[in-house]
Amino acid sequence: MKTIWIAIAAISFTAAIAGAAETTKADRARLDQIQKSLSADVPRVLCLDENFTTGAQPTREAYAKAAATGFHAVLSLRTASEGIDLARERAQVESNKMRYFNIPVNGASPRVEQADEFLRLTRDKSNHPMLINCASANRVGAFMMILRVVDQGWSEDKALDEAIKIGLSSDGLKKFAKEYIATHPPKRP
């Protein structure tokens, strides 16, 4: 009788794991669909998970699509000196009933306070899901690397791999992210 219960427990455990994998596959399929719907309007778009989608500068149309798929906020790391009308962008985002945040990060000289603000905004679950962008996704990659290690306990190597996929290419931004991580103890899962 004991053998039967062990076998039933093993089958139940296997079924639970298989069910979790199916849920993960279903979630990934949904994220892939959102990514596909945004791809024409957000260069380098990547739906990383249920909370964060990254990319380069979105078009006006992207904000309506993001809102329609359930996004709650847009976070731009662009500066006014890049030739973008941040007030117009804010109006476009807010007209689609999403929150708009701007942390004007100069890619050549990012500041610790900016990374702190990024983490504060991304920690706020009422902002999820969030579309995070800059001109080329280079700054976004660096700041997501920080988030993954400091807040989510990822290894630096794993976070760097993802950051490069997002768009991180600048040695200066890589250095900034690594220095920030070195001085801010990561959370452990």
Tell whether 89 is covered by a domain: yes
Domain count, the chain: 1
How far is Cα 131 from Cα 38, in angstroms, rounded to an integer? 11
Tell whether 188 is covered by a domain: no
Burial-class residue 18 by CB neighbours within 10 Å (0-12, 13-18, 19+).
exposed
Q: Which domain holds residue 33?
A: 2-183
Q: The domain that contains 164 carries what CATH number?
A: 3.90.190.10
Q: What is the pLDDT along the chain (189 residues), one digit of tens a residue?
A: 444 333 333 333 333 333 333 458 888 888 889 999 999 999 999 999 999 999 999 999 999 999 999 999 999 999 999 999 999 999 999 999 999 999 999 999 999 999 999 999 999 999 999 999 999 999 999 999 999 999 999 999 999 999 999 999 999 999 999 999 999 988 765
Tell whether 189 is covered by a domain: no
Tell whether 26 is covered by a domain: yes
